[in-house]
Structure 1
Amino acid sequence: MNLEEYFKRIGFHGSYDKLDFATLKSVHRQHILSVPFENLGIHCGERIVMDLEVIFNKIVRNKRGGWCLENNYLFGWVLREMGFDTTTLSSRVFNSVLNEFIPLDSHLINKIVIDGKAYIADVSFGVSSQIREPLELISGKDQPQAAGVFRVIDQGDKWVLEKTGREPHVLNPERANISLVNRNLTKMIYCFTLVPREVDHFWEVSDKLQTDPASLFTNKSILSLQTPTGFKALIGWTYSEVTYKPEEGVDVMDMREVTDDEIEQILREQFNLKLQNKLTPVSNKAWYTL
């Protein structure tokens, strides 16, 4: 495990001598543009483990993606190796169907302090909820990014991350009303506290998320990758390319259903992914939107 291999994987060619926000922002951005958010291991016979060396080999050397417990765990290691003051935090994702935060610390994020200012880094939420650069930990401050305006709000017992986005413009009329299309312009994404966590805090939840029949991740095969102008995603058999058009106040969504025979080609050409085992796509009814 070394930083040079990681930097080559994400295409980061800058200097990292300065432990400043500009460096943090550059590495964060390169990660989300290069490493997909994906849970495909669950749907092709693999077991996801919270072992840093296994994760490094998977993401860096085998050029795979990962879900938050892998990507953000690896990213925290990278930041510490670089010398950043980094703390692991846990968060609880918002379930828009139940209108509540799920009662599991299922999402791992990192807090970084630079010159006395605290930031939240998260390189692995995916789709339109993915932040492009770390967010300043200032309550209520509008922080505009490509996907919309993000805010972290201090509610006393917890902090909440929310985003105000744009109207979806679906190019394919027959896809306009499917459940993947998010119609809520402002939505909560997750909540978190500033209690430091060790990796063992996530061991049990990692197993639960990939085995529980009620888990989002056992009910949907999810793959997404950020692009300079939006993101692309393969959810079950639905392939989407989303382009942010802030000047028009819309997110343009080009969506289509693909066949099993097309899956391998899409993984290779659109996400630069090659799986060792055959993927069995899954798209059961579950709370998830682009």
Structure 2
Amino acid sequence: MTDIDVDAYLARIGATRPEKTDYEALCYLQERHLMTVPFETLSFVEREIPSMTEEFVFDKIVRRRRGGGCGELNSAFALLLKSLGFRVVPLGGRVLHNGHSAFRGVHNGHLVLRVELDQSYLVDVGFRWASRRPLKIAERGMQKDEHGEYQLVHTPQGDIEMVHDGVLRWRAETHPRDLEDFEPLMWYFATSPDASSAGQLWASIVTDTGRVSLFNRVLTRHRDGGKESRELTDDAEFIAEFEKWFGITLTEVPDLPRASQGV
């Protein structure tokens, strides 16, 4: 593993260095990451091919203060956790719901992390319905936090399915994956006209009262159990709102399709 500037990464997420590598520290770091580093697919819109190498994700998220897709965010978070002494295993997943309807996403189209402490936990900082705290893999019942009710369902095939507020969101394999296994998907999402990401801009960040999401030009604020959406038709307003919520400065608005609903 490449040595990274851990203090710079902690400063990026507004966190102090934990004294122990325990469950409380993991909860703290996961929450800080979710509230400071946005999920965003700007690279895919601009047809830039991301990478999951340590140097790439550290430069993009820490030095350039960007966000990224699930692969970039979770691989970067794994890098931070490992540098702090946590035991982390990448797992390949498949998204099964896009927020509006069920579908079958591509294999290794999602990346989650297994962290080994007193027991095994699932950690995800790259999914807009992710739990705010780690999920206990051995727990069969409901696990609740500020983001809703979660349940991990263990399938007969040995996979784990994550159900959020009654909706099946993704399925993950339980055997370890190398980060190189996900690199072809980075190329696919960035270049294929058949990919769900083709020409579409998603962004999402956790807030104290919920989250703020963007789908193309539709900005949606989720707070206190409700949500409100509006379309950002003016380019100057779009640029201002994108920087306000996601911390990314744009010089121009990408060519985006019209969206009829928020996320």
TM-score, length of structure 2 as denominator length = 0.91
User: Shift in Å at residue 45 of structure 1?
Assistant: 5.1
Match of 1:278 in 2: 252
Q: Which moved more, 1:188-197 or 1:257-266?
A: 257-266
Match of 1:135 in 2: 135
Match of 2:160 in 1: 159
- Number of residue equivalences: 257
User: Shift in Å at residue 101 of structure 1?
Assistant: 3.0
Alignment of 1:38-77 (within 5 A): 38-44=40-46, 46-77=48-79
User: Shift in Å at residue 218 of structure 1?
Assistant: 1.2
> What is the root-mean-square deviation in Å for CA atoms of aligned residues?
2.0
User: Shift in Å at residue 138 of structure 1?
Assistant: 2.1
- CA deviations 1:14-61 (Å, max 9, x no partner) are x42311100000000000000000001222353312222121111111
Give 2:200's match in structure 1, choosing from 195, 220, 223. Answer: 220
Contact 2:47 2:191 in 1 (8 A): no
Cα distance in 2, alignment partners of residues 39 and 263 from structure 1 = 16
Alignment of 1:96-175 (within 5 A): 99-115=102-118, 117-126=119-128, 129-157=129-157, 158-164=159-165
Cα distance in 1, alignment partners of residues 259 and 207 from structure 2 = 27
Match of 1:241 in 2: 221
Match of 1:176 in 2: none
User: Shift in Å at residue 198 of structure 1?
Assistant: 0.6
Alignment of 1:245-256 (within 5 A): 245=224, 251-256=225-230
Alignment of 1:15-30 (within 5 A): 15-30=17-32
Cα distance in 2, alignment partners of residues 148 and 30 from structure 1 = 18
Which ranges of structure 1 fall in alignment gaps of 5 or more residues? 165-185, 246-250
User: Shift in Å at residue 212 of structure 1?
Assistant: 1.6
Contact 2:150 2:163 in 1 (8 A): yes
Match of 1:267 in 2: 242
Give 1:190's match in structure 2, choosing from 170, 174, 184. Answer: 170
Contact 2:204 2:212 in 1 (8 A): yes
Matched, 1:6 2:9: yes
Cα distance in 1, alignment partners of residues 76 and 149 from structure 2 = 27
User: Shift in Å at residue 262 of structure 1?
Assistant: 1.6
Give 2:92's match in structure 1, choosing from 80, 90, 107. Answer: 90
Distance 1:99 1:231, change over 3 A: closer
Q: Which moved more, 1:27-36 or 1:152-161?
A: 152-161
Contact 2:200 2:216 in 1 (8 A): yes
Match of 1:174 in 2: none
Contact 1:44 1:280 in 2 (8 A): yes
Cα distance in 1, alignment partners of residues 5 and 105 from structure 2 = 35
Contact 2:132 2:145 in 1 (8 A): yes
User: Shift in Å at residue 285 of structure 1?
Assistant: 7.4
Cα distance in 2, alignment partners of residues 201 and 30 from structure 1 = 27
Distance 1:147 1:71, change over 3 A: same
Q: Which moved more, 1:212-221 or 1:187-196?
A: 212-221
Which ranges of structure 2 fall in alignment gaps of 5 or more residues? none
Matched, 1:205 2:185: yes
User: Shift in Å at residue 210 of structure 1?
Assistant: 1.4
Paired residue type of 2:79: W
- CA deviations 1:217-268 (Å, max 9, x no partner) are 114201111101100112111011110x3xxxxx211111112232211122
Contact 1:161 1:190 in 2 (8 A): yes
Distance 1:222 1:12, change over 3 A: same
Cα distance in 1, alignment partners of residues 226 and 59 from structure 2 = 35
User: Shift in Å at residue 139 of structure 1?
Assistant: 4.6
Q: Which moved more, 1:77-86 or 1:22-31?
A: 77-86
Contact 1:79 1:86 in 2 (8 A): yes
Identical pairs, percent: 25
Q: Which moved more, 1:105-114 or 1:209-218?
A: 209-218
